[in-house]
């Protein structure tokens, strides 16, 4: 049985949730696969209408949902209301994606017998994966990366049924969110829900599961990878695992508002008690006492809070022990009111000691902790940045853009999103967002888990060669009845 806990007190809340058995997981996957046959054949405009309805029912249930989420996460009304709105926005974005039609990548090359060798008529477009998408919900975003998250929204948009392995940190909420979303689905079986660690193993290895999305730790992600490799038919795995999100403060930034720079860092570091995958955990700064004092003052003014689960809190304590054994403490915040609250910590070292301490010092400490690394010259950073593990984000703070010329290529190889004079926490749900990066930030750096391009993970291309016009999908017919964007004989055609 799974027991939800109030992070503020550690006390159980709600009724215990039974863990799903292997037979129950199989039945859920099979039901989703059956429902998926009709869903896959549903025209894109009709799928878009369903996604809009899901957004509507989530917003209509906001009062009930945020209270249930707060019981299990202690994230508070403002944060949770905002996250529900974000989740609804994700479903609306994918409704727009379906209306646009570009996600199909419809491409036509007419026959050309004059080519050497002669070219046949070839037409290609994307189709939904032929199976169920398995999704592992994240603990730190009970809506936006969970049952109502972007993986679910993008997979349903693609035309795939989904089975979610609920996060043990909010099992009651997971069931409630699933029940709300199902009211907007043409078949409730299109969204399955299972509970428990063993259920995750059975889900990954079920033959009807065609791909898996995951947001969580590196050990959790690598365990899923191993399970997938044990399948007789390995399937795609899209995991978002760990990220230290380096920030480089260049010397020209010292001519700006150092207080604003420091308070911006402290706010980003401690947002959500540091439980964001884009938390700025590593900051390179010029060796400047005024800046270091501003950072110390800003961090000292912060307040911690309860972490989502005891396991996350234990991991944070382990990370602090690792950092404190290799770096000096620069500043600490204060604990929150809850007896389970943790304290923000920032540590300090120099670039030489940091380089000697690699790779350990570049390991993510999930929570409100960061390591500040002093450097003398910009050139001191070239080798260090080249040796960092992949990250979701990398940030530059500077007053003079030309100063960053040699740093930019290093950061664009290192991270999937680069930020100028800002902070990485907060991932916009939009067409151009890329939320991924080289290992260990993600298992597939060419793909994103946020933004319109997230749908491509659940699609597979099919090429039709010399296919009878009457049998072609409408999207590939010469008359283009859906008025979709397409590439015809190498030329993009307007909508």
Average pLDDT score over the chain: 96
The string of DSSP letters for 134-199 reads EEEPPSS-TTTTSTTSHHHHHHHHHT--EEEE--TTSHHHHHHHHHHHHTTSSSGGGEEEE-SHHH
Cα(463)–Cα(460) distance, integer angstroms: 10
CB 61 within 8 A of CB 180: yes
What is the predicted pLDDT for the residue at 13?
84
Cα(286)–Cα(125) distance, integer angstroms: 51
SS3 478: coil
**Active site members:** 240, 277
CA-based nearest residue to 249, from 373, 369, 427, 392: 373
Q: Domains (ranges, CATH) in the chain? A: 2-241+445-458 (3.40.605.10), 246-420 (3.40.309.10)
Phi–psi pair at 223, nearest 5 degrees: -65, -40
CB 355 within 8 A of CB 234: no
Cα(299)–Cα(28) distance, integer angstroms: 47
The CA-atom distances, in angstroms, between 344 and each of 270, 372, 466 are 7, 14, 64
Cα(173)–Cα(128) distance, integer angstroms: 29
Ordered strands of the 107-109 beta sheet: 459-465, 122-128, 107-109, 486-488, 491-493
Residue-wise pLDDT for 294-320, tens only, equals 999 999 999 999 999 999 999 999 999
Cα angle 451, 453, 456 (rounded to 5 degrees) comes to 140
- pLDDT confidence tier of residue 12, bands split at 50, 70 and 90: confident
Q: Is the pLDDT of residue 112 over 90?
A: yes
Residue-wise pLDDT for 32-72, tens only, equals 999 999 999 999 999 999 999 999 999 999 999 999 999 99
Report the pLDDT averaged over residues 181-202.
Answer: 97
Q: Is the pLDDT of residue 495 over 60?
A: no
Cα(377)–Cα(170) distance, integer angstroms: 47
What is the predicted pLDDT for the residue at 365?
95
Residue-wise pLDDT for 125-142, tens only, equals 999 999 999 999 999 999
- pLDDT confidence tier of residue 162, bands split at 50, 70 and 90: very high
Report the pLDDT averaged over residues 196-210.
Answer: 97
Cα(310)–Cα(241) distance, integer angstroms: 19
- pLDDT confidence tier of residue 337, bands split at 50, 70 and 90: confident
Residue-wise pLDDT for 439-463, tens only, equals 999 999 999 999 999 999 999 999 9
- Element holding 347 (H helix, E strand): strand 345-350
How remote is the C-alpha of 414 from its chain's centroid?
Answer: 17
Report the pLDDT averaged over residues 347-369.
Answer: 96
Report the pLDDT averaged over residues 377-404.
Answer: 96
What is the predicted pLDDT for the residue at 446?
95
Of residues 339 and 472, more confidence is placed in 472
The CA-atom distances, in angstroms, between 239 and each of 83, 127, 135, 281 are 21, 22, 10, 20
Residue-wise pLDDT for 85-102, tens only, equals 999 999 999 999 999 999
Cα(416)–Cα(282) distance, integer angstroms: 16
Report the pLDDT averaged over residues 279-305.
Answer: 97
């Amino acid at each position: 049985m799974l027991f939800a806990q109030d992070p503020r007190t550690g006390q159980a809340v709600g009724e215990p949730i039974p863990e799903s058995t292997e037979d129950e997981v199989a039945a859920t996957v099979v039901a989703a696969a059956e429902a998926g046959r009709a869903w896959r054949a549903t025209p894109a405009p009709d799928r878009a209408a369903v996604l809009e309805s899901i957004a509507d029912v989530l917003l209509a249930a906001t009062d009930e949902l945020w209270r249930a989420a707060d019981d299990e996460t202690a994230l508070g009304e403002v944060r949770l209301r905002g996250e529900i709105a974000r989740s609804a926005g994700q479903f609306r974005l994918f409704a727009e994606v379906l209306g646009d039609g570009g996600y199909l990548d419809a491409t036509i090359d007419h026959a050309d017998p004059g080519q050497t060798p002669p070219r046949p008529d070839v037409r290609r477009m994307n189709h939904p994966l032929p199976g169920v998408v398995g999704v592992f919900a994240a603990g730190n975003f009970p809506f936006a990366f969970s049952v109502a998250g972007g993986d679910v929204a993008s997979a349903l948009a693609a035309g795939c049924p989904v089975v979610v392995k609920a996060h043990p940190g909010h099992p009651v909420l997971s069931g409630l969110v699933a029940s709300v979303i199902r009211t907007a689905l043409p078949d409730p079986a299109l969204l399955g829900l299972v509970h428990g660690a063993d259920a995750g193993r059975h889900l990954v290895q079920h033959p009807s599961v065609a791909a898996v999305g995951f947001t969580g730790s590196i050990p959790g992600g690598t365990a899923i990878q191993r399970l997938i490799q044990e399948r007789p038919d390995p399937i795609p795995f899209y995991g978002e695992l760990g990220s230290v999100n380096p920030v480089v403060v260049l010397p020209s930034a010292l001519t700006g508002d150092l207080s604003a720079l420091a308070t911006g860092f402290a706010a980003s570091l401690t947002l959500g008690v540091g439980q964001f995958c884009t938390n700025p955990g590593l900051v390179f700064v010029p060796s400047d006492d005024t800046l270091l004092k501003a950072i110390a003052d800003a961090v000292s003014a912060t307040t911690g809070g309860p972490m989502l689960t005891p396991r996350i809190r234990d991991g944070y304590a382990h990370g602090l022990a690792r950092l404190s054994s290799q770096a000096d403490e620069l500043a600490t915040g204060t604990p929150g009111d809850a007896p389970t609250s943790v304290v923000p910590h920032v540590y300090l070292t120099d670039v030489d000691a940091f380089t000697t301490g690699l790779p350990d010092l570049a390991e993510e400490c999930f929570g409100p902790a960061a390591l500040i690394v002093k450097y003398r010259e910009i050139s001191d950073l070239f080798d260090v940045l080249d040796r960092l593990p992949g990250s979701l984000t990398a940030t530059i703070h500077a007053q003079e853009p030309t100063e960053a010329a040699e740093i930019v290529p290093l950061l664009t190889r290192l991270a999937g999103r680069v930020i100028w004079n800002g902070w990485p926490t907060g991932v916009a749900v939009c067409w151009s967002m890329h939320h991924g990066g080289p290992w260990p930030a993600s298992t597939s750096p060419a793909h994103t888990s946020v933004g319109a391009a997230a749908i491509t993970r659940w699609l597979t291309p099919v090429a039709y060669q010399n296919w009878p016009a009457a049998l072609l999908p409408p999207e590939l017919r010469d008359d283009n009845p859906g008025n979709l964007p397409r590439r015809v004989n190498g030329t993009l055609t307007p909508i």
